[in-house]
A and B are shown apart, each in its own frame.
Chain A
Amino acid sequence: MAGLTEYVVLSAILFGLGAIGFLTRRNALIMFMCIELMLNAVNLSLVAFSHFRADLSGQVMVLFIFAVAAAEVAVGLAILIALFRHVKDVDITKYNLLKW
Chain B
Amino acid sequence: MDPYFLVFAIMALGAGIFMIATKDAFPSALGLLTVFIALAALYLHLHAPLVAIFQVSIYAGSILVLIVFVIMLLMTPGQRLRALQRNLSYRIMGGVLGVCLMALLFIGLKGAGEVFSQRELPHDFGTPSAIGELFFRRFLIHFEVVSVLLLVAMVGAIYLAKRRS
Contact = CB atoms under 8 A, between A and B. Distances in A.
Interface string A17-57: 11011001101011011101100100110011011101011
A73 B54 contact: no
Interface string A80-92: 1110110001100
Nearest to B146: A67
B51 A33 contact: no
Given A1-B117, A64-B142, A36 B32 contact: yes
Contact of B63 (A10, A29, A69): A69
Contacts of A63: 50-51, 54, 131, 135
Contacts of B93: none
Contacts of B51: 43, 47, 59, 62-63
Contacts of A24: 20
A79 to B, nearest CB: 6
Contacts of A66: 54-55, 58-59
A27 B149 contact: no
A35 B122 CA distance: 34
Contacts, number: 176
Q: How large is the interface on A (under 10, 10 to 19, 20 to 34, 35 or more residues)?
A: 35 or more
A20 to B, nearest CB: 6
A37 B32 contact: yes
Contact of B131 (A1, A56, A73): A56
A68 B149 contact: yes
Interface string B49-73: 0110011001100110011001101
Contacts of B5: 2, 6-7
A66 B43 CA distance: 14
Interface of B: 1-2, 5-6, 9, 12-13, 16-17, 19-20, 25, 28-29, 32, 35-36, 39, 42-43, 46-48, 50-51, 54-55, 58-59, 62-63, 66-67, 70-71, 73-74, 76, 117-119, 121-122, 125-126, 130-131, 134-135, 138-139, 142, 146, 149-150, 152-154, 156-158, 160-161, 163
19 contacts: A2-B5, A6-B5, A10-B13, A17-B16, A20-B20, A30-B19, A34-B19, A34-B20, A36-B59, A37-B16, A37-B35, A50-B46, A59-B51, A63-B50, A66-B59, A70-B58, A77-B70, A78-B156, A89-B76
